[in-house]
Structure 1
């Protein structure tokens, strides 16, 4: 189903709350500018999405505002590219490509949302414990027991000896 039809289900107060909640998750599946998990994490700032119908509508409004900004940006890009092609500039600029394919939250809250989610991801990354390294016991650093033959010395020794 399309984003618009899922958004319509979120707004439909005649549907049970669970179906509306599921429709919001499906809408995020259709439009998730910073990835599904990060987009959902940001939308959860609207309130308790599992229990509050008003929070679902606030989250949908946040998502639709971003999507409208994204669509407007695509339209502006298309208009600009048509003009550039008429002037025989066939390749889009690096800045246009970064905006078109880059990751970020379109819209008025874009910078704040992106910084918030990157901060959360960085916090989770730095809190993760690194696995213990197994003891090597195989000689000098860099010696891992892998021997690659050097085709230029007749196969007599390891590469680089």
Structure 2
């Protein structure tokens, strides 16, 4: 199994609540990025931001909502499921491969979430074009506007874009 497939499998297991998420991975890797990701959320005018990391079978997750509240691991998953009530599974089927690509390249898996009106698509540079039935949000940028200088072999964040308004 390739590294990307192992990462995708770990993400899917965590998202399906078949394995606990790692508090230590969150504390060691994701916690340091909280302020920068929160600033990215504001700068990109996203409605929420999802960040995931998988390392050696462990998974950690961060969700920052539009009010700037940060949710960790299982609390982040519960909040995301409430936000995407009708479209969670469909959205995750689209997101997991993108997040896995990012993580396998040594980056954090990050997605800026935009709420869109029903029937509206989101198209732009570094943006996934999604057409889903069900509740918004169904459009997200996969590379939020945030950069970081990685230390050691820490994950990197992409710099770049946001979904159009």
Greater relative contact order, per chain length (Cα 8 Å cut-off, separation 6+): 2
* TM > 0.5: no
TM-score (norm 1): 0.27
Q: Return the structure number with greater helix share.
A: 1
TM-score (norm 2): 0.27
Structure with bigger gyration radius: 1
Q: Return the structure number with greater strand share.
A: 2
